[in-house]
Amino acid sequence: QVQFVESGGGLVQPGGSLTLSCEASESIPGNFFSRMIIGWYRQQPGKQRELIASIYRDGTQDLKPPVEGRFTISRENANKTVFLQMVDLQTDDTAVYYCGFVPASSWGQGTQVIVSS
């Protein structure tokens, strides 16, 4: 069974916006999800996968420099869902985006984001 399912990726032009969703599966109890740190990772072409955003149980965000000021991470514990709101997308944001625990214990299929004119 997969732990998380990512969705919302697509093709957008530079300067565009996109919101990604990450839904935890039935294998993850709600009480457990609520107290865990959840993160968004991405793997750009030719690069290693990296953590770009984290969110704690109280909603506190930790955004890394490449996305700080443009991306926002949020969570809805009742729905066991984490979101990544992305604005002012740039070509360098092109990547496969994954969600998971921090630190990560497994990887899902991710969702592809392509920023191109």
- The label of the residue with tokens 């909603």 reads 59
pLDDT at 103: 93
Per-residue pLDDT at 1 exceeds 90: no
Q: What is the pLDDT of residues 63-103, one digit of tens each?
A: 999 999 999 999 999 999 999 999 999 999 999 999 999 99
Counting other chains too, the contacts that 74-77 makes at CB distance below 8 Å and 24 or more residues apart are 75/38, 77/30, 77/33, 77/34
- The tens digit of pLDDT for each residue in 42-62 reads 999 999 999 999 999 999 999
Half-sphere exposure of 109 (CA within 13 A, CB side): 10
Work out whether the CA dihedral 26, 27, 29, 34 comes out positive or negative. negative
What pLDDT is attached to residue 2?
Answer: 84
